[in-house]
Amino acid sequence: MFIEVLKYSLIAIFTLTLVCAAVNSIRSHRSTHPATTGVYRSWTNIWMGAMLIVLALILMFVFSGSTLSVVVEALFLLVGAYNLFAGLRNRSHYARLQQQAEGRSPHPSSPSV
């Protein structure tokens, strides 16, 4: 019973991450400002990484422990973790660029005299 509930909740989370990744991808393609485009693309990476991790978890519960399925699950986990890390790193970079473009904070390397 618990495993069935877990499977369906993971499928719901997978669907949510899929929709969020698609929405941010569309936003990034429609954006005109480069920093805003970068922020949306980084969010797309974050959602794609989460989606791959959830997909690996779904595969762990659905398929038996054959060698091929374990290798595929491990690859999905690694690629998902890399996407998540790269998206978080890029988001902080582009968020700083976006703030500088809007004039909210001065450039961090400029000396204040």
User: What's the pLDDT score for residue 105?
Assistant: 56
Q: pLDDT, tens digit, for every residue of 57-81?
A: 999 888 777 888 899 999 999 999 9
User: What's the pLDDT score for residue 108?
Assistant: 57
Residue 45, pLDDT above cutoff 50: yes
Mean pLDDT across 90-96: 92
Q: pLDDT, tens digit, for every residue of 19-40?
A: 999 999 999 999 998 889 999 9
Is pTM beyond 0.85? Reply is no
User: What's the pLDDT score for residue 12?
Assistant: 96
Backbone φ, ψ for residue 101 (5° rounding) = -70, -35
Residue 113, pLDDT above cutoff 60: no
Cβ atoms of 58 and 6 within 8 Å: the answer is no
User: What's the pLDDT score for residue 106?
Assistant: 54
Q: Which pair of structure tokens corresponds to residue 68?
A: 């091929």
User: What count of other Cβ atoms lies within 10 Å of the Cβ of residue 89?
Assistant: 12
Cβ atoms of 14 and 54 within 8 Å: the answer is yes
